[in-house]
Amino acid sequence: MQNELELIEQHKVFDGNQRRYRHYSSTLGCVMTFSLFVPDLSRWSSPPLLWWLSGLTCNDENFTTKAGAQRIAAQLGMAIVMPDTSPRGDAVADVSQWDLGQGAGFYLNASQPPWAAHYRMYDYLSDELPHLLSNKLGFNGPQSISGHSMGGHGALVMALRDPERFCSVSAFSPIVNPTEVPWGQNAFQTYLGEDRQNWRQWDACELLKDYQGKAIPMLVDQGDSDSFLGEQLQPERLAQVAADINYPLTLRIQQGYDHSYYFIASFIGQHLEFHMKHLQRA
C-alpha cells in the first residue's frame, strides 16, 4: 500500500462529494485515513482548502457526520480535509486513558519512547498529507485551518508555527495554553518529557508571546456552559496575550453553549464564511 491513495468511501452531498481515503504514512509508520469534502467541481474548478482538526477521542469522521458543514461549504465552493487525530494500529503505542494515546495525538512530534516512533502528527499535517493532497488530488490553492478542543490547539499552533501557509485560523473551545492545564501537561510530559522549555513550541499562548510572523486573522468561539472551560480551556489567556501584542484575535463567548458538536454545528457556517473571506484575498 506504500505511496498508494485508496478511495474507500464516497457519497454525493449538496452536489459535491464526501470522500474517505486510506494510505500508508511513512511519517507515522502506519495506515491512516482522512476524510475530504469536495464541492461541485463543475462550478468550482479550483476550490480553496480548509483543514479541520478534531478533538480528543475523535477520528476523521466526527466532523463529517456531526457538524453539518457540507451545505455551506458547497455554497461557498470550499473543500474541507479532515485528518485523523493520531496514528492508528496494533503496532502503535496506546494506553487505556481516553485523553492519551490513540485518538489523542495532540498534533505534535513526540520525542519520548515509545511514542516517538509513530506520534509525529505535526510533520504528517505539515508535510506528508499536504503533498499527498497536492500531488495526488490537485489541491494547490490557498488554505486555512480550524479545529475543536485538542484540534483547536492544533490549529492555533500550526498557524502560528507556519504563518505563510494559512490565510486564517479559527477554533472552537480550544486548549490555548496546554503547558498550564491538566490535559496539556499530561500529554506533554508523556510525549515530550520533563523539560518544560520544550513544551513551549506546542503552546499557542507561548508561541504568541514571542510571535514575529505574519498576523493571521484568528477567530475563537467558546461556549460559557462548557464544563471544561475553567480548568482546561481558559481562552481569556490567549485573548490577553493577543491584546498585549495587538494581534488580530476575535474571541466570542457564546451564551449557553457547551463543548459538544451541537455547539460546532450552530456556528460552523460563520467560521466557513470567515475563512472564505480571507481565502478569496490570497
Per-residue pLDDT of 146-182, as tens digits, reads 999 999 999 999 999 999 999 999 999 999 999 999 9
Q: How confident is the model at residue 45 (pLDDT cuts 50, 70, 90)?
A: confident
Q: Which helix (H) or strand (E) holds 220?
A: strand 218-223
Phi, psi of 257 (to 5 degrees): -90, 150
Whether the per-residue pLDDT at 9 is higher than 70: the answer is yes
Q: Calculate Rg over the CA atoms of the chain.
A: 18
For the residues 7-20, what does the mean pLDDT come to?
Answer: 97
Whether the per-residue pLDDT at 233 is higher than 90: the answer is yes
Whether the per-residue pLDDT at 12 is higher than 80: the answer is yes
Q: How confident is the model at residue 127 (pLDDT cuts 50, 70, 90)?
A: very high
Cβ pair 205, 153 in contact under 8 A: no
- State the first-to-last Cα distance of the chain, in angstroms, to the nearest integer: 36
Active-site positions read: 149, 226, 259
For the residues 5-22, what does the mean pLDDT come to?
Answer: 97
Whether the per-residue pLDDT at 2 is higher than 80: the answer is no
Q: Domain-by-domain residue ranges, the chain?
A: 6-280
Q: What is the pLDDT of residue 4?
A: 85
* Longest CA pairwise span in the chain (Å): 53
Whether the per-residue pLDDT at 194 is higher than 80: the answer is yes
| CATH of range 6-280; options 3.40.50.720, 3.40.50.12780, 3.40.50.1820, 3.30.70.3270 | 3.40.50.1820
Q: How confident is the model at residue 144 (pLDDT cuts 50, 70, 90)?
A: very high
